[in-house]
């Protein structure tokens, strides 16, 4: 995996708050991901992990706080332009079922990247090749396995050459035997130097691949650090309880 | 004379049908098609606009679409055709002269749009919110995400219901005769009716009915075929030898818990 690695940037989330009515989902989240590093966000369901990702690419606007790429706030930027810089992969893939795999990847390249048809096709096929699915270009998403669909979703996000990648429980909807291929692509991408924030329940992946692991509960990061520190020397009692349950 | 013979002679007089057939095919069929196709196109475009207005974030657009739909769905088609055709006749006279067709097409389109708008709206709203989120996450604006991703999926989901409306439109095109048509403007039903009136035999009306069936039945099957094709896509042409889902992840092998 060598795509889109040279343009990755650092990501800083500072004191981000978000409430849906009386429900305070994020209560001052801080997270720093240096250029080319991978941060895995772990925590129980409902702790605000997925919402945090959506505030980073502004699918949801935070109420307060800041998001910085390479040290510059992006909250004043055009959110559509920001999302082309920050790729996102979802738990349910969110591929467009009425389009072929190839067109799923070329759509944004042509409409947003303003590439011609041939150039977009070439870029898309190269990305599909990287995730091992070049031969599926003409298939519909429904003709692929869940793991293959998720790899197409990764290729689609990478085709726009993002500077940061967000993964929202990318393997949670997959059958266990399909998880490994997707995690492999993500691990390769991390090794190639992409700045990544990965919300995951795959503790093995977090331990092996992450530079930083952040534990979230009730809308705040309770503890963050290198994987060995978080997994082997957990300080916060809530984190220790969580790890006791999932490991 | 027994009832069966009467029925047979009244509706199955082959000579009467043969006499009406040429005019039915050269005048009635083209006129019915002109009315129905024009109204279908205009009604579908207006219906799509209504559907988008109906799910708009603007309360005023939603309210306008709601009122329009309630009014044009609630009025009898004949009443709407008369209201538009007679009410706007002075204006039509100034713009394109005495031809009643444009107003007939307009009236049919406005009626169809109310129904088609609701059909399209239900289809669009049935598309999962995650599809919009997926498109927005790529950097598409709301409008582009709707245009490229959501609306095409929504419309594909309601193709059969849309065809129902087109069939209703083909049949409703016969109501345009209320507006007064010259001989060359008569559609299928009107020609059948005229032959029935002059000959006292209803066979030409049955022939007109068969012509409507010849239009509507194939239309249903063609769109059903398109519907199946869109749902299933073309057969996969890619090789099946791509790697499986277990490739390349050596780093965490055996370490997942």
The per-residue pLDDT for range B207-242, each reduced to its tens digit, is: 999 999 999 999 999 988 888 887 765 544 444 444
Q: Calculate helix-pair angle for B159-172, B29-54, nearest 10 degrees.
A: 130
Q: What is the pTM of this model?
A: 0.83
The encoded tokens of residue A239 equal 């984190």
Decide if B245 and A80 are in contact by the 8 Å CB cutoff.
no
* pLDDT surpassing 80 at residue A3: no
Q: What is the pLDDT of residues B89-141, one digit of tens each?
A: 898 888 888 888 899 999 999 999 999 999 999 999 999 999 999 999 999 99
Q: What is the pLDDT of residues A63-75, one digit of tens each?
A: 999 999 999 999 9
pLDDT band at B246 (very low <50, low <70, confident <90, very high): very low
* pLDDT surpassing 80 at residue A16: yes
Contact at 8 Å (CB) between A137 and B239?
no
CA atoms within 13 A of residue B241's CA, in its CB half-sphere: 0
C-alpha–C-alpha distance, residues B151 and B130, integer Å: 14
Residue B222 belongs to a domain: yes
Residue B131 belongs to a domain: yes
* pLDDT surpassing 70 at residue A36: yes
Q: What is the pLDDT of residues A122-153, one digit of tens each?
A: 999 999 999 999 999 999 999 999 999 999 99
Whether A143 has its CB under 8 Å from any CB of chain B: the answer is yes
Domains of chain A: 11-246 (3.40.50.300)
Chain B residues near residue A134 by CB distance under 8 angstroms: 242
Residue B27 belongs to a domain: yes
Residue B155 belongs to a domain: yes
Provide the CATH number for the domain around residue B96.
Answer: 1.10.3720.10
Angle, alpha carbons A209-A214-A218 (nearest 5°): 145
Decide if B257 and A204 are in contact by the 8 Å CB cutoff.
yes
- Between A92, A160, A204, which is nearest B252 by CB? A204
- Between A135, A174, A247, which is nearest B241 by CB? A135
Domain that holds residue B228: 11-232
Decide if B153 and A59 are in contact by the 8 Å CB cutoff.
no
Chain B residues near residue A59 by CB distance under 8 angstroms: 133, 136-137
Residue closest to A108 by CA, chosen among A94, A88, A124: A124
Mean predicted confidence (pLDDT) in A28-45: 97
Contact at 8 Å (CB) between B116 and B165?
yes
Decide if A177 and B245 are in contact by the 8 Å CB cutoff.
yes
Residue B3 belongs to a domain: no
Residues in chain A: 247
pLDDT band at A168 (very low <50, low <70, confident <90, very high): very high
B244: closest CA of chain A, how far (Å): 8
Query: Rounded mean pLDDT of chain A?
Result: 94
C-alpha–C-alpha distance, residues B130 and A168, integer Å: 13
Identify the pLDDT of residue A117.
Answer: 96
A61: closest CA of chain B, how far (Å): 13
Number of domains in chain B: 1
Strand stretches in A70-218, DSSP E: 72-73, 86-89, 164-168, 195-199, 212-217
The encoded tokens of residue B71 equal 């009014």
Residue B251 belongs to a domain: no
Identify the pLDDT of residue A2.
Answer: 45
Distances in Å between the Cα of B207 and the Cα atoms of A35, B17, B123, B170 are 77, 6, 36, 16
Mutate to test the interface with B, among A180, A198, A207 (most CBs of B within 10 A): A180
Kindly give the residue spans of alpha helices, DSSP state H, lying in B75-157.
77-87, 89-96, 101-126, 129-137, 142-145, 151-157
Contact at 8 Å (CB) between A97 and A142?
yes
Identify the pLDDT of residue B179.
Answer: 87
Residue of A nearest to B230 (CA): A98
Residue B257 belongs to a domain: no
* pLDDT surpassing 80 at residue B250: no
Collapse the DSSP code of B188 into the 3-class scheme (helix H, G, I; strand E, B; otherwise coil) and give the result. Answer: helix
A136: closest CA of chain B, how far (Å): 5
C-alpha–C-alpha distance, residues A115 and A125, integer Å: 14
- Between B156, B245, B248, which is nearest A145 by CB? B245
Q: Which residues 6+ apart lie within 8 Å of B20 measured at CB?
A: B191, B192, B195, B203, B204, B207
Identify the pLDDT of residue B232.
Answer: 64
Q: What is the pLDDT of residues A176-230, one digit of tens each?
A: 888 999 999 999 999 999 999 999 999 999 999 999 999 999 999 999 999 999 9
Whether A110 has its CB under 8 Å from any CB of chain B: the answer is no
Q: What is the pLDDT of residues B2-59, one digit of tens each?
A: 888 888 988 999 999 999 999 999 999 999 999 999 999 999 999 999 999 999 989 9
Q: Which residues 6+ apart lie within 8 Å of B98 measured at CB?
A: none
């Amino acid at each position: 995996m060598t795509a889109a690695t040279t343009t990755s940037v650092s990501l800083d989330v500072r004191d981000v708050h978000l409430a849906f009515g009386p429900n305070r989902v994020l209560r001052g989240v801080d997270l720093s991901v240096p250029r080319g590093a991978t941060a895995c966000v772990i925590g129980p369901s409902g702790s605000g992990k997925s919402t945090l990702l959506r505030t980073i690419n502004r699918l949801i606007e935070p109420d307060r706080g800041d998001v910085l790429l390479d040290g510059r706030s992006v909250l004043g930027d055009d959110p559509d332009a920001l999302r082309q810089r920050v790729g996102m992969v979802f738990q349910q893939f969110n591929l467009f079922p009425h389009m072929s795999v190839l067109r799923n990847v070329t759509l944004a390249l042509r409409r947003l990247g303003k590439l011609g048809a041939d150039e977009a096709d070439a870029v898309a096929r190269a990305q599909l090749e990287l995730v091992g699915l070049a031969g599926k270009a003409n298939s519909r998403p429904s003709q692929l396995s869940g793991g293959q669909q998720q790899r197409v979703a990764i290729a689609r996000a990478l085709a726009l050459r993002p500077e940061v990648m967000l993964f929202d429980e990318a393997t949670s909807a997959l059958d266990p035997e399909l998880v490994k291929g997707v995690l492999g692509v993500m691990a390769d991408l991390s090794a190639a130097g992409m700045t990544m924030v990965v919300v995951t329940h795959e503790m093995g992946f977090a331990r092996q691949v992450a530079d930083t692991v952040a534990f979230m509960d009730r809308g705040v990061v309770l503890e963050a650090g290198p994987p060995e520190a978080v997994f082997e020397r957990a300080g916060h009692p809530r984190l220790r309880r969580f790890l006791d349950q999932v490991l | 004379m027994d009832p069966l013979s009467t029925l047979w002679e009244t509706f199955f007089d082959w000579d009467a049908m043969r006499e009406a057939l040429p005019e039915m095919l050269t005048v009635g069929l083209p006129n019915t098609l002109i009315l129905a196709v024009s109204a279908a196109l205009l009604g579908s475009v207006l219906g799509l606009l209504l559907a988008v207005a109906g799910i708009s974030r603007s309360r005023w657009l939603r309210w306008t679409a709601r009122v329009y739909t309630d009014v044009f769905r609630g009025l009898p088609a004949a009443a709407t055709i008369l209201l538009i055709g007679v009410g706007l006749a002075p204006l039509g006279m100034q713009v394109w002269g005495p031809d009643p067709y444009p107003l007939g097409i307009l009236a049919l389109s406005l009626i169809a749009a109310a129904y088609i708008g609701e059909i399209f709206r239900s289809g669009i709203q049935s598309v999962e919110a995650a599809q919009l989120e997926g498109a927005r996450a790529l950097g598409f604006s709301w409008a582009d995400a709707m245009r490229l991703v959501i609306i095409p999926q929504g419309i594909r989901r309601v193709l059969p219901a849309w065809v129902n409306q087109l069939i209703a439109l083909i049949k409703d095109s016969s109501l345009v005769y209320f507006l007064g048509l010259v001989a060359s403007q008569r559609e299928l039903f009107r020609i059948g009716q005229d032959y029935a009136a002059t000959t006292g035999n209803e066979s030409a009306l049955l022939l007109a009915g068969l012509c409507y069936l010849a239009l509507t039945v194939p239309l249903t099957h063609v769109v059903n075929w398109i519907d199946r094709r869109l749902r299933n896509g073309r057969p996969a042409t890619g090789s099946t030898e791509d790697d499986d889902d277990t490739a390349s992840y050596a780093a965490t092998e055996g370490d997942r818990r």
